[in-house]
Structure 1
């Protein structure tokens, strides 16, 4: 099935509802294979596929799915930002992340973005379908190993300072992100840290990559959500 193709939907009902699914994944073979697996379950109907975040938003508006299976590493708009925008436009949609990423930052970002499930690619068919059934019925599923990490992360966040909210960032990157979240410009940060502007911009590029954001505004939102930005004054 090609990107954006639509499969005829099965009828909806109250109990035994056939839940409509949007699959968002930039690798066509994996996307089509995943869609085929989901469609074999008679309680689901894959109504659309998308290979980018932008296309996912368009397809969600067109098909109004019940469930979205979302990759994180999308070209252009990230899976995290796509999830946020989807839920703003369609609050009833339930999102399950399926990704190669084992990053703690990605896991926390997905939860904060509103994901109801987080599975690693390579999960067996039964686990994928179980997650979709559970999330479709209002539950949440994070897989055995992911759930253990999530519990550990929230426990750590409860006792750690906000500056440790992004464990993959270096100390300098966290410092710069904190200053960004506090409203300082690149030049002001450079002056504060006694470095040249280019050094700050290089660090910011690394921060964007690790947080999977594409601009300063998105990075600031992530940082402030984590409690950063209070030490810039």
Structure 2
């Protein structure tokens, strides 16, 4: 695949909340950020992305993968972005670096990853119609229990979500370890409807199996909702 960039963009959080509230996005931070980045840099230009901020902080940083470099992104923002959007983003501090487009097979890396572990149903299940987006843990619970074992809660939530993560990395990397460091139920707005689902952050380590596929997974994100703040693999050296 072609080269892509890792971008960092400082944002002023109070201004961000005001901007989102004025547009009706205050109930869904990810949707607000999606629109802010799309209107400022172009649809899908910074995707996947992740907002990192300490609790109670006045500012944070959006990290994202992009096909355009810093110069091109700044030019688009200066030509097209609205003034109130630029008041949220510190465009002068926009920074980036070129990411590898292939990685050495066997390389072990640590990662920080926020995910929304959901699945699309291939057939109706319980109250959910075919095609519904459902919590991966609930999908497991809706399955018929094995013969002679009526217990459906023998597997815990973290184990189910870890299996979901393994499936989504399998073409590119082998999951060596993964620890669920946060979990909450979060409602998001999609298609004019509010949908509640799991919001899970992982810390872990992986081994690259296919360098090209791994680069593609970085650029596209892990799982659904990569356009709304989920699925960005942030890397660091393994222990």
TM-score, normalization: structure 1?
A: 0.29
Structure (1/2) with the larger helix percentage: 1
Structure (1/2) with the larger strand percentage: 2
Q: Which has the higher contact order (CA 8 A, sep 6+)?
A: 2
